[in-house]
A = this chain, B = another copy of it.
Amino acid sequence: MSNNSVFIEKLRSSGLRPTRQRVQICKILFDRQKTFHFSIKDLAKMIANDFSEKVSLATVYNTIHAFKKRGYLKEISINSDKTYFDTNTSNHHHFFNESTNELIDLENNEVGKINIKKKIPGKKIKSVEVLVKIANSN
């Protein structure tokens, strides 16, 4: 369990004022061992449950965007209708469980080297992301 000063520092160090709202959101997002995959809606619900003080939806959006911009979160697109964010900002991949709509991390070292044979002249590769869709075996 981190104490708030860790998050206050984190925020300050990237030029964000450590407001109550931002610190609260940090606690939910980053005070955990495992990767966290969430939608804005999920997060808003958790804030409502975890804290007595209300945080407006606009602030949730603002904060998530600020965090994404600073590299604290990654955005993941599965289907157009679902936007998830991921606290794991390393280079990695995902399983998407179609039976449950659940996302599972797939670390870089859990996927063999990916050889992109086609080259696009004048372009360089920024990232290679794999999405593995899975479902119940039967």
Contact B110 A116 (CB under 8 A): yes
CB of A3 within 8 Å of the partner chain: no
CB of A134 within 8 Å of the partner chain: yes
Produce 1/0 per residue, A100-127, CB < 8 A to B: 0000101101111111111010111111
Number of copies: 2
A127, B104: Cα distance in complex, Å: 15
Number of chain A interface residues as a range: 35 or more
* Stretch from A16-24, A25-33, A77-85 forming part of the interface with B: A77-85
Contact A117 B124 (CB under 8 A): no
Contact A106 B110 (CB under 8 A): no
CB of A137 within 8 Å of the partner chain: yes
Report A's interface with B, CB cutoff 8 A: 75, 77-80, 82-83, 95, 97-99, 104, 106-107, 109-118, 120, 122-137
Task: Given A95-B120, A99-B123, A109-B117, output 16 extra A-B contacts at Cβ < 8 Å.
Answer: A80-B82, A95-B123, A97-B123, A106-B118, A111-B114, A112-B115, A114-B130, A122-B136, A122-B137, A123-B134, A124-B134, A124-B136, A124-B137, A129-B130, A129-B131, A130-B131
Q: Which 3 A-B pairs have the closest CB atoms?
A: A112-B115, A80-B83, A77-B77
